[in-house]
C-alpha cells in the first residue's frame, strides 16, 4: 500500500500504510502504529495508548477525530488532488475564483507575472477572517479583475491565468 | 384535533416537532429556504413549501409567506418552534385572523411578558420576587443615581425591549453611571428602536434557574420543575441540567409557586419558561419570561416522561391539562449539551462544511435531537446549532458519565464543533461537584476556547495514521458540492484552487 504526506501547522509528516491480518500497520515518521477497524470507527494503538477515532478525506484535506478531538491535515504530494484532475465540478486551471463572498484585502501579483501552483495570489477576508487564495496551477497572470477593497461574491473570477496545456 | 400542522422553523426543532405530529397522526408541512431544499426537516414533512432565499428576512421571518404556505396546504395550525417568529405577537394575531391556530400563548401574554419593564410590574404585583430596582423605565440621571445608592452597587442598566445582552451595562460605581446610562440608551435605540432602560441591582455570581410552566386555556397553570442553565458563554446557554444541584425540595416548592403566580398574572397558556437568578443565600429574583418552547425542553421531558410538544398541541386544540401533567413527578437526572458548528479553538467562530462522517451516539439514557445527516452541507446562514445531545441517568453522576461517553462516541467530521470543549467542562472538579454559577466559563475555562497547543506528539502521530488509513480506503469527498444544487452557501473547503484557512499574512 502507499506512502502519504500530511501537513499539520508547520510540520510535514510522512506516513506509510501496510495492511496485514485485517489491521493496518502504519509508520509515521519512523514510528509504528497499529490501526484496527472497530465498531463505527477505528482503534489506534500507539505505544501503550489506545485511542478511538475516525477519519474522512476531501480532495485537499483530511479530517480526523481522535478521542473526540478534531485534527485537520492538509494533504501534500500525490494525494493533494486539484478539483480539475479527477472529473471534479469546475476543473478550471486557468481561473482563480472566490470560494466564498468576501472582501479583497490584497492582490499579491500583477499582470504578466509567472506564478507556480499553490502560490498565494490573493488575500481575501470572509467571516471576519483573512485567508489566502492559492494559484490553481503554474502559469502567467493574464488578467486581474479586482483590486484591494473590492467586495466579491462566491465563485467570482478574480484572476485569470495563461496556462500551458499539455 | 388538528389534521395538518405547518412548522414555521428549520433544523433540529422542526424535525423534533414533526416526530410528535407523526405519533399523533397529524400531517405536517415544512417551509424551507433555498439552501434548505434538501434539508432533513424539508424531507421529513408530508409536504414542503418553498418560502424564499437564504436570508431569514427573505424566508423564515416573512409572516405573509408563512401564512400563504399554510393556506395553500390547508394547514389548520402553525407551530413556530423557537427563535424566528415564535415570540412575535403580530404573527400570532395574523394566524388567528386567518383562521389558523397558533400553537403557543396569546399575543397579549407575549406582549405583557416580552417587555422587561411591564413583566417586572406584573411580577411585583403578583407578589413574586424581582431584583431591587425600577418598576418603570426612566431617563433621569439623578433618579438612577438615587436608586443605585439605595440598592447598592454594582447595578445593572438594562433595556426594556429585546435581549441578548444588548443595551445592558454593568455599573460598579456612581462615577460610571451617567456614561453607562447614555451608552445603554444608545445601544437599545439602535438595536430595538426603543431606548427605554431601567436599573436593577446586579446579583453577584448567581445561578440561572428556570421553571417550566404549562397552562391551558381554562386558566389552569402548573410547573414541571426547574432547569439549571448556569453554564453559559456570553449569555448563551451551552449545558443544561435538571434537577438543579442547588435547589432543595423546599426551595423548589417556593420557586415553583412563584413561577405559577407569574404565569397566571400574565394570563399565560401553552408552555413557557420563567427564569430566575438564584444567589448564594438561596434568594431568587425574577429575570424574564420566555413565551415559547425552550431549546432545553428535552431535559424536562426526560425527568417527567412527558412530550411537551404533544401537550402544546393539545392545549392549542382547546384541551385542558391532562392528569399526567397535573400529577407529574421528577425522576432521575438529565443533561443537555448543545452541539454547535463552531470553532472552539478559534474564538467560537461559526464553522461550515460538509458532514463527511456523521454518526450519532446511542445507548441507555441517550437521546439526540438533530436536524442534520451525513453528507449534509452546513452553511452559515442560520444559528449554528446542529443538534442537542441529551442524557438521562438514575442520578447526576450516571447522567454525566453517559454524557461524556456519548460525546466521545459522537462522530462529526468535516466541520468544527464545540464537543471537545463540552468534554472539558464536564470533567472540571467544580462542575462535578455542582458548584456552578453563570460566571463559570469566565472563571474556570479559557474564554477563547480550547487552547490549540494541547495536541501531544503522540496524538498527532495517531491522528496522522488514521488520516492515512482513510486515504487508503479510497473515498474522497469533493471540496465543492454546493453550487450544483443552486446553493448560495459556500464552505471554506469547497475551493478546488487551494483555500487554506488561517494562512493570510
Looking at mean pLDDT, say which of A78-82, B2-6, B202-206, B412-416 comes out highest.
B2-6
A139–chain B nearest CA distance, Å: 14
Packed helices B89-97 and B63-73: angle between N→C axes, nearest 10 degrees: 30
Q: Do B461 and A132 touch (CB under 8 A)?
A: no
Q: Could you read off the pLDDT of A32-61 as tens digits, one per residue? A: 999 999 887 899 999 888 998 999 998 888
Provide the number of CB pairs (under 8 Å) joining chain A to chain B.
241
Q: Do A135 and B498 touch (CB under 8 A)?
A: yes
Average pLDDT for residues B320-339, to the nearest whole number? 97
Look up the domain containing A153 and give its range: 95-162
3-state secondary structure of B412: strand
Kind and range of the H or E run holding A24: strand A23-28
User: Which of these, B385, B424, B381, B384, lies nearest to B403 by C-alpha position?
Assistant: B424
Mean pLDDT, chain A, whole residue set: 84
Contacts of B42 (CB under 8 A, 6+ apart): B30, B32, B36, B48
Q: Do A128 and B492 touch (CB under 8 A)?
A: no
Q: Are residues A104 and A72 in the same domain?
A: no
Q: How far apart are CA B89 and CA B107, in angstroms?
A: 4
Residues of B in contact with A66 (CB under 8 A): 459, 462-463, 466
Which chain B residue is nearest to residue A7, measuring alpha carbons?
Answer: B464
Kind and range of the H or E run holding B314: helix B308-316
Model pTM?
A: 0.81
Q: Are residues A112 and A71 in the same domain?
A: no
Q: Does A43 touch chain B (CB under 8 A)?
A: no
Q: Do B462 and A33 touch (CB under 8 A)?
A: yes
- Any domain includes A86: no
pLDDT of A136 reads 86
B232–chain A nearest CA distance, Å: 22
Q: Please say whether the beta carbons of B142 and B194 come within 8 A.
A: no
Average pLDDT for residues A86-92, to the nearest whole number? 43
pLDDT at residue B403 tops 90: yes
pLDDT of B476 reads 78
Q: Are residues A10 and A41 in the same domain?
A: yes
Q: Of A53, A79, A105, which marks where a domain is finished?
A: A79
Q: Do B484 and A63 touch (CB under 8 A)?
A: no
Look up the ipTM and state it. 0.73
CATH number, domain with residue A11:
2.40.128
Q: Does B143 touch chain A (CB under 8 A)?
A: no
Question: Out of B191-195, B207-211, B418-422, which region has the weakest mean confidence (pLDDT)?
Answer: B191-195
Contacts of B90 (CB under 8 A, 6+ apart): B63, B107
Q: Are residues A49 and A116 in the same domain?
A: no
Query: Which CATH architecture group holds B4-103?
Result: 3-Layer(aba) Sandwich (3.40)
Q: How far apart are CA B87 and CA B90, in angstroms?
A: 9
Residues of chain B with CATH 3.30.470.20: 207-444
Q: Does A102 touch chain B (CB under 8 A)?
A: no
With bands split at pLDDT 50, 70 and 90, how would you rate the model's confidence at A166?
low
Mean pLDDT, chain B, whole residue set: 90
- Any domain includes A89: no
Q: Of A54, A79, A104, which marks where a domain is finished?
A: A79
- Any domain includes A149: yes
User: Which of these, B290, B292, B273, lies nearest to B225 by C-alpha position?
Assistant: B273
Q: Are residues A102 and A150 in the same domain?
A: yes
Q: What is the DSSP letter of B245?
A: T
Q: Do B480 and A66 touch (CB under 8 A)?
A: no
B349–chain A nearest CA distance, Å: 8
For the domain spanning B207-444, the CATH number is 3.30.470.20
Q: How far apart are CA B173 and CA B142, in angstroms?
A: 14
List phi, psi (to 5°) of B135.
Answer: -105, 10
List phi, psi (to 5°) of B56.
Answer: -55, -30
pLDDT of B104 reads 98
Q: Of A79, A103, A121, which marks where a domain is finished?
A: A79
Q: Does A17 touch chain B (CB under 8 A)?
A: yes
Q: Do A1 and B472 touch (CB under 8 A)?
A: yes
pLDDT at residue B90 tops 60: yes
pLDDT at residue B485 tops 60: no
Hey, of A51, A53, A94, which one would you mutate to test binding to chain B, going by the most B CBs within 10 A of its CB? A53
Residue A163 CB neighbours (<10 A): 18
Residues 404-443 of B with CB under 8 A from A: 407-414, 416-417, 419-420, 423
Is position B292 annotated as part of the catalytic site?
yes
Nearest CB to A60 within list B412, B467, B479: B479
Q: Has domain B132-201 been given CATH number 3.30.1490.20?
A: yes
Q: Are residues A66 and A104 in the same domain?
A: no
A104–chain B nearest CA distance, Å: 12
Residues of B in contact with A84 (CB under 8 A): 496
With bands split at pLDDT 50, 70 and 90, how would you rate the model's confidence at B500?
very low
Q: Could you read off the pLDDT of B119-168 as tens digits, one per residue? A: 999 999 999 999 999 988 887 899 999 999 999 999 999 998 876 667 88
Which chain A residue is nearest to residue B416, measuring alpha carbons?
Answer: A70
With bands split at pLDDT 50, 70 and 90, how would you rate the model's confidence at B483?
very low
With bands split at pLDDT 50, 70 and 90, how would you rate the model's confidence at A165?
low
Contacts of A4 (CB under 8 A, 6+ apart): A14, A15, A16, A17, A75, A77, A79, B467, B468, B471
Residues of chain B with CATH 3.40.50.20: 4-103
Residues of chain B with CATH 3.30.1490.20: 132-201
pLDDT at residue B272 tops 90: yes
Residue B22 CB neighbours (<10 A): 14
pLDDT of A6 reads 94
| Catalytic entry in B196, B292, B314, B396 | B292
With bands split at pLDDT 50, 70 and 90, how would you rate the model's confidence at A88?
very low
Q: Are residues A72 and A103 in the same domain?
A: no
Residues 442-481 of B with CB under 8 A from A: 455, 458-472, 475-481
Q: Do B493 and A28 touch (CB under 8 A)?
A: no
Residues of A in contact with B412 (CB under 8 A): 65
With bands split at pLDDT 50, 70 and 90, how would you rate the model's confidence at B447?
low
Q: Does B356 touch chain A (CB under 8 A)?
A: yes
Q: Could you read off the pLDDT of B274-329 as tens digits, one per residue? A: 999 999 999 999 999 999 999 999 999 999 999 999 999 999 999 999 999 999 99
Number of H helices and E strands in chain B, helices first, is 17, 24
- Any domain includes A37: yes
Hey, of A16, A58, A123, which one would you mutate to test binding to chain B, going by the most B CBs within 10 A of its CB? A58
Domain count, chain A: 2
pLDDT of B5 reads 98
Q: Are residues A9 and A74 in the same domain?
A: yes
pLDDT of B346 reads 75
Average pLDDT for residues B237-246, to the nearest whole number? 97
Q: Could you read off the pLDDT of B53-73 as tens digits, one per residue? A: 998 999 999 999 999 999 999
Average pLDDT for residues B20-35, to the nearest whole number? 97
pLDDT of B164 reads 63
B262–chain A nearest CA distance, Å: 42
pLDDT of A127 reads 62
Amino acid at each position: 500500500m502507499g506512502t502519504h504526506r500530511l501537513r499539520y501547522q508547520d510540520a510535514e509528516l510522512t506516513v506509510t500504510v501496510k495492511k496485514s491480518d485485517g489491521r493496518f500497520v502504519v509508520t509515521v515518521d519512523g514510528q509504528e502504529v497499529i490501526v484496527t477497524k472497530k465498531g463505527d470507527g477505528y482503534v489506534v494503538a500507539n505505544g501503550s495508548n489506545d485511542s478511538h477515532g475516525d477519519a474522512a478525506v476531501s480532495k485537499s484535506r483530511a479530517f480526523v477525530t481522535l478521542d473526540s478531538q478534531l485534527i485537520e491535515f492538509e494533504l501534500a504530494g500525490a494525494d493533494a488532488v486539484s478539483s480539475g484532475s479527477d472529473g471534479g465540478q469546475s476543473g478550471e486551471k486557468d481561473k482563480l475564483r472566490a470560494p466564498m463572498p468576501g472582501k479583497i484585502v490584497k492582490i499579491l501579483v500583477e499582470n504578466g507575472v509567472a506564478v507556480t501552483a499553490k502560490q498565494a495570489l490573493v488575500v481575501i477576508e470572509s467571516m471576519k477572517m483573512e485567508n489566502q487564495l492559492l494559484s490553481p496551477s503554474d502559469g502567467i497572470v493574464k488578467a486581474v479583475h479586482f483590486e484591494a477593497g473590492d467586495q466579491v461574491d462566491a465563485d467570482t473570477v478574480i484572476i485569470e491565468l495563461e496556462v500551458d496545456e499539455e | 384535533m388538528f389534521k395538518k400542522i405547518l412548522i414555521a422553523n428549520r433544523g433540529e426543532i422542526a424535525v423534533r416537532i414533526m416526530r410528535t405530529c407523526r405519533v399523533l397522526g397529524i400531517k405536517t408541512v415544512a417551509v424551507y429556504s433555498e439552501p434548505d431544499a434538501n434539508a432533513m426537516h424539508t424531507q421529513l414533512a408530508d409536504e414542503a413549501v418553498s418560502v424564499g432565499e437564504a436570508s431569514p428576512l427573505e424566508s423564515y421571518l416573512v409572516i405573509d409567506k408563512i401564512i400563504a404556505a399554510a393556506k395553500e396546504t390547508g394547514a389548520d395550525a402553525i407551530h413556530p418552534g423557537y427563535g424566528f417568529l415564535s415570540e412575535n405577537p403580530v404573527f400570532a394575531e395574523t394566524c388567528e385572523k386567518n383562521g389558523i391556530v397558533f400553537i403557543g400563548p396569546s399575543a397579549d401574554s407575549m406582549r405583557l411578558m416580552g417587555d422587561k419593564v411591564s413583566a417586572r410590574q406584573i411580577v411585583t404585583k403578583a407578589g413574586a420576587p424581582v431584583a431591587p430596582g425600577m418598576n418603570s423605565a426612566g431617563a433621569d440621571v439623578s433618579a438612577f443615581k438615587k436608586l443605585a445608592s439605595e440598592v447598592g452597587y454594582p447595578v445593572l442598566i438594562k433595556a426594556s425591549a429585546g435581549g441578548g445582552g444588548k443595551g445592558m451595562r454593568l455599573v460598579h460605581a456612581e462615577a460610571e453611571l451617567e456614561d453607562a446610562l447614555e451608552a445603554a440608551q444608545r445601544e437599545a435605540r439602535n438595536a430595538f428602536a426603543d431606548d427605554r432602560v431601567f436599573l436593577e441591582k446586579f446579583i453577584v455570581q448567581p445561578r440561572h434557574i428556570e421553571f417550566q410552566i404549562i397552562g391551558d386555556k381554562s386558566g389552569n397553570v402548573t410547573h414541571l420543575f426547574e432547569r439549571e442553565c448556569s453554564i453559559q458563554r456570553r449569555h448563551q446557554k451551552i449545558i443544561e441540567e435538571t434537577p438543579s444541584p442547588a435547589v432543595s425540595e423546599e426551595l423548589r416548592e417556593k420557586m415553583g409557586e412563584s413561577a405559577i403566580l407569574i404565569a397566571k398574572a400574565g394570563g399565560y397558556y401553552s408552555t413557557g419558561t420563567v427564569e430566575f437568578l438564584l444567589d448564594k443565600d438561596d434568594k431568587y429574583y425574577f429575570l424574564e419570561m420566555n413565551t415559547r418552547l425552550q431549546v432545553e425542553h428535552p431535559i424536562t421531558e426526560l425527568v417527567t416522561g412527558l412530550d411537551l410538544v404533544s401537550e402544546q398541541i393539545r392545549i392549542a386544540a382547546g384541551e385542558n391539562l391532562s392528569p399526567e401533567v397535573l400529577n407529574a413527578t421528577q425522576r432521575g437526572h438529565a443533561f443537555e449539551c448543545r452541539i454547535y458548528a463552531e470553532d472552539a479553538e478559534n474564538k467560537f467562530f461559526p464553522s461550515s462544511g460538509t458532514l463527511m462522517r456523521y454518526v450519532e451516539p446511542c445507548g441507555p439514557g441517550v437521546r439526540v435531537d438533530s436536524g442534520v445527516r451525513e453528507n449534509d452541507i452546513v452553511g452559515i446562514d442560520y444559528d449554528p446549532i446542529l443538534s442537542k445531545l441529551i442524557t438521562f441517568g438514575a442520578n447526576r453522576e450516571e447522567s454525566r458519565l453517559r454524557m461524556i461517553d456519548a460525546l466521545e462516541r459522537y462522530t462529526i467530521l468535516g466541520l468544527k464543533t464545540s464537543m471537545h470543549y463540552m468534554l472539558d467542562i464536564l470533567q472540571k472538579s467544580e462542575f462535578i461537584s455542582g458548584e456552578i454559577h453563570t460566571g463559570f466559563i469566565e472563571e474556570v475555562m479559557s474564554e477563547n476556547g480550547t487552547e490549540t497547543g494541547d495536541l501531544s506528539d503522540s496524538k498527532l502521530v495517531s491522528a496522522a495514521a488514521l488520516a492515512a488509513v482513510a486515504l487508503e480506503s479510497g473515498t474522497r469527498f469533493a471540496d465543492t458540492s454546493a453550487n450544483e444544487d443552486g446553493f448560495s452557501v459556500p464552505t471554506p473547503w469547497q475551493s478546488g484552487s487551494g483555500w487554506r484557512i488561517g494562512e493570510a499574512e
